[in-house]
Amino acid sequence: MSAFIVFGSVARNEMHDQSDVDIAVVGTSFKGDRLQEMRDIRKLRYPISYKLQPIWFYPEHLEDKYSTLAMEIKKVGIVV
């Protein structure tokens, strides 16, 4: 993984009780089973009581000027 970027309501400082934590997982290669990787990342939510919502991206996907999701991540995303 090359970056983890928090975006969405958390990054916009608009989080509420029903919000999840959107995380862009950016990397050039993803090894193994992506479904299992998603489960592993979601297990991290238990100590923090918020639902983590990881979304996998290759760097070039964030450069897609027609993707509203990529634009949202670039506009308000916080690299962690």
The boundaries of the domain holding residue 35 are: 3-79
The pLDDT confidence band at residue 73, using thresholds 50, 70 and 90, is very high
Q: What is the pLDDT of residues 8-62, one digit of tens each?
A: 999 999 988 888 889 998 887 766 666 676 676 666 655 566 677 888 888 898 9
pLDDT value of position 75: 95
Task: Please choose, from the candidates 38, 32, 27, 35, the residue with its C-alpha nearest in 3D space to the C-alpha of residue 61.
Answer: 27
Per-residue pLDDT at 76 exceeds 90: yes
Lookup result for tokens 């299992």: 36
Q: pTM, whole model, 2 decimals?
A: 0.74
pLDDT value of position 78: 96
Instruction: Please tell me the total count of domains within the chain.
Output: 1
Q: What is the DSSP string of 33-51?
A: -HHHHHHHHHHTTTTTTSE
